[in-house]
Structure 1
Amino acid sequence: MTSKKKLIIAGVAIFVIALSYSLFGSNNEENKPITTQVIKGKFINEVIISGEAQSTSSKKINGPINARRFNIYQLKIQDLVPEGTVVKKGGYIGKLDVSEINGKINDAMLNLESAESKYTQQKLDTTLTLKQERNKIKDLLFSIEENKLELTRSVYEPPATIRKLEIQIEKNERDLREKQEDYFIKKKQANAKMIQVGTEVSKIKKKIEELTALQNEFTIYSEDEGMVTYVKDWNGTKKKVGSTISPWEPAIASLPDLTKMESKTYSNEVDIRKIKKGLTVTVGFDAFPDIELKGIVTDVANVGENKRGSDIKLFQVLIKLNEINSNIRPGMTTSNKILTHEEDNVLMVPLEAIFTKDSISFAYVKSGYSIQKKQVELGLSNNSDVIITKGLSENEIVYLNKPEDTEDKSIKLLSN
């Protein structure tokens, strides 16, 4: 056999060996038992839920609150500074649509013109009427004076003539008194009408002043310095340009106190049983992975609520941040690790090391060159480990997957 043929045969043999290993060797590797030790240490149980950072104390920036006095109930946001804008005291925040109030001001101006015209007309009518009444009184005075002069010259006239003049004078004096009384009454009536139309003019002028003052409130400025955040509507959406505010919910934005922050989150029905007031929390932030702040649970809702688009009941949990970081802003997504249980010096194994048969929990334990199935008594568990209260000892070797040829082995039960 030539050396060339020997090389070919050797190459084919190596290829067959490699192919066999690739086909069968990996299965052997997959079936290889995985073991770990029973360890003693600190057991930590945490509920991890996401939430949203918000301020526990914020100052509302309100639009006009007196708009409903003028039957204005929906105010549309026409302009609003971007969320996160830092403003100084007196800084511009936004503007509301003034078309409705402008229409009311125009209507009031037309009403004012009409009222002022009525006032002028009433004034002219009053002047003319009272002038006519005064002229009638003057005519009667002249008539009385003439009759008295004629009476004086009629000393030698017959008694009937004298008596006729006296009767005429008495009649004129009586008419004078009646005219004077009528004049007094008509003057009071005229004054009352002037007051009435004058009051209407003043009322409309005052309304225009109030509407103008209200119109000025449609441009909104900050009463303090801070960072602008948008407020949420009744349905949970943030108010922005195009949204509306009402006299009952006049807030257009808010200025949160960044030194008083909390994380608002929602827990499911399973985890809420573990969460209580006073539990410590480690709060992380998606925007700043390197920042972790300590917090404490301050409120746990007793009644669940349905979130939009889901039938699952969720319970609100509020977590107060015990630390301050200038990078944290309202609205940031938070990751909340709530420490629900902590226990030192306990035996633990991974959850994968526990098996169940006929409601009996057991573990596969390495004993020399053999394997035992030992019953175990379990304590609390978390997402990765479980506490062993009975059945195993520290440093014992347990299997994380089911070893081969152990199906017929009996379980070594715990002794009472």
Structure 2
Amino acid sequence: MNKKKLLLFGIPIVLILVGYTLFGNTADEDVAVTTKVVKGDFVNEVIISGEAQSTSLKKINAPEEIRKFKLNVKIQDLIPEGSFVKEGDYVGRLDPSEVNEQILDAQLNLETAESKYTQEQLDTTLTLKQERTAIKDLLFDIQENKLELKQSIYEPPATIKKLEINIERLERDLKEKTEDYIIKEQKAMAKMVEVGTEVSKIKKMLDELRDLQKSFTIHSDTNGMVTYAKNWDGSKRKVGTTISSWDPAIATLPDLTKMESKTYANEVDIRKIKKDLPVIIGFDAFPDITLKGTITNVANVGEEKRGSDIKLFQVLVNFDENNDNVRPGMTTSNRILIHKEEDVLMVPLEAVFSQDSISFVYTKSGMSIDKKEIEMGESNLDVVIIKKGLNEKEIVYLSKPEGMEEKRILSLN
């Protein structure tokens, strides 16, 4: 009975010990994560978001005359963005407050100028009338003295001489008075022209202001879809926005057949991005739509976005295809193809280690682990191409196995 009990309890214990001996180390090894070398197509892409915009658009501007009158006007009304309009359709209206004030000032100035013109006209008429009367009086005096001289042939020589001298003096006064009259007449005419010109100038300005007031109602001069114009900081102009006389656009009519994606890349990605690289463009609003594109411009100088010190570089992607659903302002996803290779061996980046400038991987060889030198090719954020050192389906470790520090690296040669 004792022997039977020993066998019943002893056999399971022996089996447990044997199992641990056979499979215990394997269990420890399985803790380390492994993967296989795969063969396939390698794709290196940079994915950045952007905004769709038209490369060709027609601006709907406030009247050009607001610059002449130095007006900064506000948008009083705008039709909804995305509305389709035809030539002559209403687009919006500008606040006429400032131009109304200038019209009122011009009216007051015109009244003052016209009053001044009338006063100058009356003064001129009176002054010249007095001058003409004085000339007539001199003519009468000369005629009277000449008649008296004619009747004084029998008078003493002194009397006759006195009359002759008096006639000569009157004739000299007449000449001077006539010359003075001509000068005063010319001066009065010049003054009238000056005042009259001021009146005409104010009238012209008043007419222009009234025409400008009428043009504050904005209409489209062509067909298209309305998009709001943007300020220097990228914000859209809307009702209440002040329009500068130097940048009078209130809206635009983009050409929807000529579209591009405007995006920005960081300092790391910009080194990979080149002109003419192909791009697959997606749209947040339409996940099922993708269009082909091509990079047309890569900025050489970075710029800082508001609220950030990170330098970003502008990248423009031209749409090689069109879609009627795409609209300016839509958020785009731009998959830029940097590099592609077919039928290449690849491993995850986590599987690659380095020592003394030698790149290597840990591979599983039967029950042991080897350190193999590798020659790498292009890489992306996930995998790296293996040019030499590994075979397809060979097992590599994604983390460093324990106790491998002193093991020699198997050289490619």
Task: Provide the TM-score with structure 2 as the length reference.
Answer: 0.83
The reply on whether 1:291 has 2:278 as its aligned counterpart is no
Q: Does 61-70 or 182-191 show the bigger shift?
A: 61-70
Q: Does 276-285 or 167-176 show the bigger shift?
A: 167-176
Counterparts in 2 of 1:361 and 1:169: CA distance versus 1, 3 Å = closer
Deviation per residue, 1:279-324 (Å, 9 max, x gap): 1111111111111111111111122222122222211111111111
Q: How many Å apart are 1:120 and its aligned residue?
A: 0.6
Q: Which residue identity is paired with 2:219?
A: Y
Counterparts in 2 of 1:409 and 1:192: CA distance versus 1, 3 Å = closer
Cα separation, 1, equivalents of 2:176 and 2:113: 34
Counterparts in 2 of 1:352 and 1:164: CA distance versus 1, 3 Å = closer
Cα separation, 2, equivalents of 1:358 and 1:148: 134
Other structure's SS at 1:202 match = helix
Q: Which residue identity is paired with 1:325?
A: N
Q: How many Å apart are 1:356 and its aligned residue?
A: 6.0
Q: Which residue of 2 aligns with 1:65?
A: 64
Q: Which residue of 2 aligns with 1:4?
A: none
Cα separation, 2, equivalents of 1:156 and 1:377: 147
Deviation per residue, 1:1-23 (Å, 9 max, x gap): xxxxxxxxxxxxxxxxxxxxxxx
Counterparts in 2 of 1:373 and 1:153: CA distance versus 1, 3 Å = closer
Q: Which residue of 2 aligns with 1:387?
A: 385
Q: Which residue of 2 aligns with 1:276?
A: 274
Query: Is contact 2:373-2:412 (8 Å) kept?
Result: no
Q: Which residue of 2 aligns with 1:117?
A: 115
Q: Which residue of 2 aligns with 1:414?
A: 411
Other structure's SS at 1:248 match = coil
Return 5+ residue gaps in structure 1 as ranges. 1-27
Q: Which residue of 2 aligns with 1:322?
A: 320
Other structure's SS at 1:288 match = coil
The reply on whether 1:247 has 2:245 as its aligned counterpart is yes
Query: Is contact 1:373-1:409 (8 Å) kept?
Result: no
Which of residues 335, 338, 342 in structure 1 aligns to 2:333? 335
The reply on whether 1:206 has 2:192 as its aligned counterpart is no
Deviation per residue, 1:142-201 (Å, 9 max, x gap): 333344444444455555555544444444333333332222222112112111211111
Q: How many Å apart are 1:261 and its aligned residue?
A: 0.9
Correspondence list, 1:91-106, <5 A: 91-106=89-104
Counterparts in 2 of 1:99 and 1:392: CA distance versus 1, 3 Å = same
Cα separation, 1, equivalents of 2:260 and 2:286: 16
Other structure's SS at 1:102 match = helix
Cα separation, 2, equivalents of 1:312 and 1:172: 96
The percent of aligned pairs where both chains have the same amino acid is: 68
Counterparts in 2 of 1:399 and 1:168: CA distance versus 1, 3 Å = closer
Q: How many Å apart are 1:127 and its aligned residue?
A: 1.3
Q: Does 332-341 or 189-198 show the bigger shift?
A: 189-198
Query: Is contact 2:33-2:398 (8 Å) kept?
Result: yes
Counterparts in 2 of 1:36 and 1:139: CA distance versus 1, 3 Å = same
Cα separation, 2, equivalents of 1:175 and 1:63: 65
CA RMSD, 1 decimal: 3.0
Q: Which residue of 2 aligns with 1:135?
A: 133
The reply on whether 1:39 has 2:30 as its aligned counterpart is no
Correspondence list, 1:293-372, <5 A: 293-354=291-352, 361-367=359-365, 372=370
The reply on whether 1:262 has 2:260 as its aligned counterpart is yes
Deviation per residue, 1:246-278 (Å, 9 max, x gap): 222222222211111111111111111111111
Which of residues 152, 171, 174 in structure 2 aligns to 1:176? 174
Q: Which residue identity is paired with 2:386?
A: I
Count residues with an aligned counterpart.
387
Return 5+ residue gaps in structure 2 as ranges. 1-26
Cα separation, 1, equivalents of 2:169 and 2:31: 141
Cα separation, 1, equivalents of 2:198 and 2:392: 95
Other structure's SS at 1:290 match = coil
Query: Is contact 2:362-2:400 (8 Å) kept?
Result: yes
Query: Is contact 1:53-1:334 (8 Å) kept?
Result: yes
Cα separation, 1, equivalents of 2:240 and 2:408: 70
Cα separation, 1, equivalents of 2:154 and 2:370: 164
Cα separation, 2, equivalents of 1:190 and 1:34: 108
Q: How many Å apart are 1:33 and its aligned residue?
A: 7.1
Cα separation, 1, equivalents of 2:126 and 2:134: 13
Q: Does 121-130 or 392-401 show the bigger shift?
A: 392-401
Counterparts in 2 of 1:164 and 1:376: CA distance versus 1, 3 Å = closer
Deviation per residue, 1:80-135 (Å, 9 max, x gap): 22221222223222222222222122111111111111111111111122222222
Counterparts in 2 of 1:410 and 1:157: CA distance versus 1, 3 Å = closer
Counterparts in 2 of 1:246 and 1:125: CA distance versus 1, 3 Å = same
Q: Does 265-274 or 349-358 show the bigger shift?
A: 349-358
Cα separation, 2, equivalents of 1:317 and 1:151: 107
